[in-house]
Amino acid sequence: MRRVAILSAALAATVLAGCATSSLTPTVETRQSIVSYDIQGLAYQGAAERIVATHREVMSSARIERTFAPDPLPASPGQIRMDNPFAGTSMAGMARMGGSQFLMPQCDGAQLVITADDTSFGRYGETTRYTSCVWAYAEGVHLEVYSAFTQRSGASADLIGRQVAQAVLNRDSSEFIARTHERIVGDLVSAGARVEQLSSRES
C-alpha cells in the first residue's frame, strides 16, 4: 500500500512539474471537423425531426432555424463552406490584426440549420460548438455536421485539475464528439433511415 502511495505521489509530482511550466500559460486551442452523411429511406421531414430531437436531447443549448425547401428539389445537395461573415467590414480588419481568421460555417440553401453547444465540461475549460445543416435533394437527404472543440488551459485550479487528469488518462472531452455523431446516426437508423458517411475532415 505504501509503495502504491509513493508511486502515486511521484506521478502527481511529475505531472504537476510539467504543468508548472508551459501548461500554466493561458492558452486557447480550437480543433475543427466536418462530417457529411447521405440519408436514404426516410423523407426529409422525418429525418429533420429526428435530427432536431437528438440535438435537443444531447446538447446544453440549441438554436434551430428552418426554411422552405426549393421546388423542384435540386439534383445535388449543398455543403458547408467556411467563410468570414465579417469580410469587407471593420471587424475583419480588427480580426486580422488580432491574428484571428473569423471563419465560420455557412450552410447555403440548407432547409434546416442547428447551432448547438455542449458545455458539460465548461468549468474545466472544454466546450464544443456544433453546426448541423440538412439539405433535401432529389435523391434523398444530406446532413453535414461541423464541430469546433475549444480547450482552454491556464493557471486556475479547475483547469490545472483537468490538465493533470488529461496527462494521466491521455484523453479529453473531445471524445464525446464521436459519440454525438453515433447518437445522431443511430437515432436516424432507428427511425428507418439508411445512413452512409461520405466524408470526414479534421483540422
All three cell numbers of 128: 464544443
- pLDDT-based confidence at 168, cuts 50/70/90? very low
The mean pLDDT of the chain is: 83
- Residue 98: predicted pLDDT: 52
On whether the CB atoms of residues 143 and 133 are closer than 8 A, the answer is yes
All three cell numbers of 124: 474545466
DSSP 18-45: HHTTGGGS-EEEEEEEEEEEEEESS-HH
Quote the CA–CA distance of 55 and 175 in Å, as a whole number. 17
How confident is the model over 157-183, as a mean pLDDT?
A: 70
Helix, strand, or coil here: 123? helix
Q: What is the pTM of this model?
A: 0.78
| pLDDT > 70? residue 184 | yes
What CATH code would you report for 25-202? 3.30.160.110
Neighbour-count burial of 97, counting CB atoms closer than 10 A to its CB (0-12 exposed, 13-18 middle, 19+ buried) = exposed
Chain Cα centroid distance, residue 196: 19
